[in-house]
Amino acid sequence: QQQVKQSPQSLIVQKGGISIINCAYENTAFDYFPWYQQFPGKGPALLIAIRPDVSEKKEGRFTISFNKSAKQFSLHIMDSQPGDSATYFCAASIPPSNTGKLIFGQGTTLQVKP
Amino acid sequence: DTGVSQDPRHKITKRGQNVTFRCDPISEHNRLYWYRQTLGQGPEFLTYFQNEAQLEKSRLLSDRFSAERPKGSFSTLEIQRTEQGDSAMYLCASSVGQGGETQYFGPGTRLLVL
């Protein structure tokens, strides 16, 4: 119940294309769903996040779509660029009133070809 | 605000030795988290502090691991009698608790146990 399942494991997209990464969860106590971007040798950096009372959130080229009934959420990267090549992790958070700890997916390695 | 810092960035040690890592969170962040990340996986929660109190420890944190956060500022993570299975990236993150879910990660300490 604490797991977050992420797919695909790896993704290759042409420059200018749309990258889509999916995640699914079981624990309905999760109330915050961030996406992190990680470059080799670096710590994860917050990209965008959403709460379950919102179905979509957009920040620049990055959009989260959230389906509460299906317990699924996804990251869409529009107009993908070679600089977006990185590993992306979805995560879910136990409420901060409890621990606030993050449960991460397994990660998706994105390669954007020029 | 210089972000979360971790020291050292890399550590190579021999099996059986003790190692200690340090994390300096963003100032005034009262919550501090430790995660462990192995190659090709997402970070896994180890433990967290609210101010100087250690409030939760994962089952991943065996009795060879100990973490402290004296005075509620920096934190240390010590591994005693290291094993090859301890080889991983150890990540620290900080946040403002009770409403501030965003966790800011440091660059991590990569440990290699020979």
Each residue's pLDDT tens digit, A23-40? 999 998 888 999 999 999
Pair of tokens at residue B50: 């609210």
Q: Do A89 and B42 lie within an 8 Å CB cutoff?
A: yes
- CA-closest candidate to residue A69, choices A25, A20, A22: A25
Each residue's pLDDT tens digit, B8-43? 999 999 999 999 999 999 998 999 999 999 988 999
For A45, A95, B27, B29, B54, the CA distances from B72, given in Å and listed in that order, are 24, 21, 10, 9, 10
Each residue's pLDDT tens digit, A8-20? 999 999 999 999 9
- CA-closest candidate to residue A97, choices A1, A31, A25: A31
Contact status, residue B46 vs residue B58, Cβ threshold 8 Å: yes
Each residue's pLDDT tens digit, B28-87? 899 999 999 998 899 999 999 999 999 989 988 889 999 999 988 999 999 999 999 999
Q: How far is A48 from chain B (nearest CA, A)?
A: 10
Q: Do B43 and A44 lie within an 8 Å CB cutoff?
A: yes
